[in-house]
Amino acid sequence: MLFYGLYHIPYRVLRIKCENDNDMTHTPCYNYFMNRPKFEKRELYTMLLILFAALLICYILLIALGELPMPIIGDLDAQQTPTEQPTNQPTDEPDPQTTDFSTPYFTPSVILQPSNDPSKLLQVYFIDVGQGDCAILISPNGETMLIDGGELGNYDTISGYLDELDIDDIDVMVATHAHSDHIGSLGTIADNYAVETFYTTKYDSSSKTYENMMESLRENGAEIKHISAELDTYIPWDDDITVRVMSPIKGIKYSDLNDSSLVLKITYGTQSLMMTGDLGESAESIMVDTYSNSDLQSTVLKVAHHGSETSSSQEFINAVSPQIAIISVGEGNKYGHPRPETLKRFKLRSIELFRTDKLGSILVSFTEDSYTLKPHV
């Protein structure tokens, strides 16, 4: 319409002037009307098309210059699939004065529903036991594993999950190390559920909690094995899954129980899970020096020692290079776990964190080539 008006305004002005002339044949008006080109719709459409193209180019330039926001098209949740993997490339270090590393960060779009066919899944339940660790694993062939057992007061919570999952027999029970927030309920569980084989390290403890656990296991007929990592040391469990012992490494003396934590890499197809207990930075460094990156790389990492500042060194995170990480930690705990500096190390690698103090218990379900995650209520 703009071009149409610009085209006809001179015509109408001149026509009014010419109508006031007595003899149009001898005026410029006559020559104008006689020689005026005929206006066609095609010309109007061409001009409109040119105008639209110009506006579109301006809009694109404004978006490129950051003056306008990028339009969002479609459902973001629908765009995320289990096969989409973060690049995990280091990013520019954020300004610590403007970045709050004390809060959890995760993208809800990666919280997906697991497959409807549990027979094809490795299911890992990270149980919310507060300031402690506990994980229940169910293999594709129905084998069961319990890694750590929280404090003694967590028995009802853990047994509730075992009963909900119809678990009466525990094929493999693991105590990563002898601290009470990892073994507190294991003795009581051994009294009430059939435990076939129990694995822990040679680094024992004189604590009453540890002694009661070992006594319950012996009295209930569990096979007890003290294990360390040698060349390709594995825990037999399921024919479709490997459970490799990564630490403590045989022949190395560790300074404390945390560093002597039993570290397992559980692999199903192309997917893997690294369970780290309360491993400290010095023991992490030994692992990085001992193993290749391909040995250490894991899809999912259970963050050591509840996100303590003495664990999860940048060197170790870089070597494991997980796509996501799980922190088992108590809400409002007195230690300030997870520590801001630890969260910062993961954020620098663009690794998404999922915390039991924020989400409650967490279920990670693996197929041979993908994984899904959701809070488990």
For the stretch 38-56, pLDDT in tens is: 545 566 677 788 888 888 8
Under the banding of pLDDT at 50, 70 and 90, the label for residue 231 is confident
Whole-prediction pTM value? 0.71
Under the banding of pLDDT at 50, 70 and 90, the label for residue 112 is very low
**Residues 166, 28: one domain?**
no
**Residues 86, 183: one domain?**
yes
Asked whether residue 69 is domain-assigned, the answer is no
Pairing state between β 242-247 and 223-226: unpaired
- From first CA to last CA, the distance across the chain in angstroms is 62
Asked whether residue 160 is domain-assigned, the answer is yes
**Residues 39, 130: one domain?**
no
Tokens of 173: 């029970």
**Residues 113, 23: one domain?**
no
- Please return the burial class of 96, using the count of CB atoms within 10 Å of its CB with bins 0-12, 13-18 and 19+: exposed
Q: Which amino acid is at 238?
A: D
**Which letter, b or e, does each residue of 239-263 get, where b requires 16 or more Cβ atoms within 10 Å of its Cβ?**
eebbbbbbbbbeeeebeebbbbbbb
3-state secondary structure of 50: helix
3-state secondary structure of 196: strand
**Residues 257, 150: one domain?**
yes
**Residues 50, 153: one domain?**
no
**Residues 95, 238: one domain?**
yes
State how far the Cα of 253 lies from the Cα of 220, in Å rounded to an integer: 32
The most distant pair of C-alpha atoms in the chain lies apart, rounded to whole Å, by: 127
**Residues 154, 189: one domain?**
yes
Asked whether residue 99 is domain-assigned, the answer is yes
Host domain of residue 200: 77-375
Q: Which residues pair with 205 in a beta bridge?
A: none
Asked whether residue 71 is domain-assigned, the answer is no
Asked whether residue 70 is domain-assigned, the answer is no
- Number of structural domains, the chain? 2
What's the average model confidence in pLDDT over 178-186? 97
Asked whether residue 33 is domain-assigned, the answer is yes
**Residues 50, 134: one domain?**
no
Q: What is the CATH number of the domain that holds 320?
A: 3.60.15.10
Asked whether residue 282 is domain-assigned, the answer is yes
Per residue in 286-325, pLDDT tens? 999 999 999 999 999 999 999 999 999 999 999 999 999 9
State how far the Cα of 197 lies from the Cα of 225, in Å rounded to an integer: 7
**Residues 164, 292: one domain?**
yes
